[in-house]
Chain A
Amino acid sequence: MKRYYILLLLTCCLIACTYEGSNFEEPTDFSEDISRKRNFYMENSIELTMENSVIEKGVANFNVGDTLKLSLKMPAIFIHKNNEFYNIFKSTGATKYQYSLYSKNSLFFDKDIIDLDFLENNSDIKTLSFSKKQIKESLLFHELYQNQQSIVAKYDSKSNSYVSNIGIVFTQPTTDPLTTSKDEVIVNSEIKTSTYIVNRERVKNIRIYVPIYSKLNFIKFNIQK
């Protein structure tokens, strides 16, 4: 009985390990039979870049109220395995792609991520200091703020690409301070993206996953009060 129990335990461990490693899929081999497949994984990554910050020794400097601008651009005609071109827009019919951002601590949260393109097109919005009630009730704010679990990259027909320009507004940090003084707080934070950017609605019943490469990992933020 004991032997069976140990065997069962080992099997569970094996399954758990296999599951842990299954988050990243192998790039799709289109030379194989794809007739039954609806999910496709591209090989080359796109990059989430930081727009406006100076990084010194791995620390980016920001004041409270500053906005960290992040940009992601994915061409609709995507190169897979360096020699095959796939039209993602025509294949999926998707007008938007989505990805997620994660943070180790509360450096940013749901309503602190804003759509910079939307902000640029709506000059009426003068300030970004709104109450949670205002944000909740206004449709305008619903479009301005993005959910960190489903940040949208919209299809731009002019450039034939999916574009996401977002900003993270720095608020007063409250957790995980490494050093604290009256004037500054260095927050040890990793901003991570989801493994892929993907069309989450199936317009044409095809889903294409594009891996995201992010340089934001392991950057500390020095936030001046």
Chain B
Amino acid sequence: MKKITLSCFLFLSLVSNAQEKFTAHLDNPNEVGLNLVGIRNDNFLPGVYYERQLDHHFSLGATIGYSTNSNNSNYYYSDEDSLYYENDYYENDYYDNNGLETFNFNIYGRYYLKDYITESFLYLFFDHNVKVRYFLESTAGMAVLKNKFTETIKDTNNVYTIQRTTHNFTDATLGVGTGLKLLFNRKISLEMHGGGGSYLFNNKQAKSYLYFNLGLGYRF
């Protein structure tokens, strides 16, 4: 009888251990990080982010992205050696008209699904020290864009010159996406998320965008 009681006690203690919630995200609710890969359409905008966990499921955050490549819409193609320019596949009028985004600032809200778990494929490599959690997110922000438009300029002799002029403008954005966050030893996080959205007000450029971010963060 004594042995049975002892066994039951041990079993119950194991069960209670197994049911203990993983609360690292609540213990360290703040996270700062670097957005190592920030892609929006054809633009590369790495940056920084901050996220605060509000409760078990919800979090709020902000990101800033900045592009150092200011020249990628100045598409230059020399076909000196191509033979038949009538059949030149590179001759697409709309090739460089997606809009060059140079800066963006976004506020996002996330809903984390379920709890942090150790996925079986992670367990194979990292034991229980790596947890993963999936989330849905919505973003609202502003973006600074640079775009080139073609226009004709008439001189005093009534002769037109065709030219492409650079225009800078700011736009508001809205987007939704999904992603996952990996937590290493409760402190270091790696998140990957992507989705789509739209520029709200400008009609002379691509109205929608796709994005993908990969961030490395620290929780405290």
In the complex the two chains form, is A205's CB within 8 Å of B160's CB? no
Q: Does A150 contact B (CB under 8 A)?
A: yes
In the complex the two chains form, is A200's CB within 8 Å of B78's CB? yes
Assembled-state Cα–Cα distance A195/B84 (Å): 10
In the complex the two chains form, is B151's CB within 8 Å of A35's CB? yes
Chain A contact-residue range equals 20 to 34
In the complex the two chains form, is B161's CB within 8 Å of A205's CB? no
Q: Tell me whether A204 and B163 are in contact in the complex, defined as CB-CB below 8 angstroms, given that A34-B152, A36-B93 are known contacts.
A: yes
Assembled-state Cα–Cα distance A182/B84 (Å): 38
- Nearest CB in chain A: distance from B5 CB, A: 74
- Nearest CB in chain B: distance from A45 CB, A: 15
Among A23, A36, A194, A200: residue with most chain B CB under 10 A: A36
How many B residues have CB within 8 A of the partner chain? Answer: 34
In the complex the two chains form, is A205's CB within 8 Å of B148's CB? yes
Which parts of B134-179 form the interface with A (CB within 8 Å)? Answer: 148-152, 155, 157-164
Assembled-state Cα–Cα distance A150/B83 (Å): 7
Taking CB atoms, residues of chain A closer than 8 Å to B151 are 34-35
- Nearest CB in chain B: distance from A132 CB, A: 20
Q: Give B67-109 as 1s and 0s: 1 = Cβ < 8 Å from A's Cβ atoms.
A: 0000000111111101111110001011111000000000000
Q: Does B128 contact A (CB under 8 A)?
A: no
In the complex the two chains form, is B85's CB within 8 Å of A200's CB? yes
Assembled-state Cα–Cα distance A23/B85 (Å): 10
Q: Give A103-138 as 1s and 0s: 1 = Cβ < 8 Å from B's Cβ atoms.
A: 000000000000000000000000000000000000
Q: Does A225 contact B (CB under 8 A)?
A: no
A–B Cβ pairs within 8 angstroms, 27 of them? A23-B87, A34-B162, A35-B150, A35-B151, A36-B149, A37-B150, A38-B93, A38-B95, A38-B150, A40-B162, A85-B157, A85-B158, A86-B161, A86-B162, A91-B162, A98-B85, A194-B84, A194-B86, A195-B86, A198-B85, A200-B79, A200-B85, A201-B80, A202-B75, A205-B74, A205-B76, A206-B163
Q: Given A202-B75, A208-B162, 10 more contacts at CB 8 Å? A: A36-B149, A37-B150, A87-B155, A150-B80, A194-B84, A196-B85, A198-B85, A200-B80, A205-B74, A205-B75
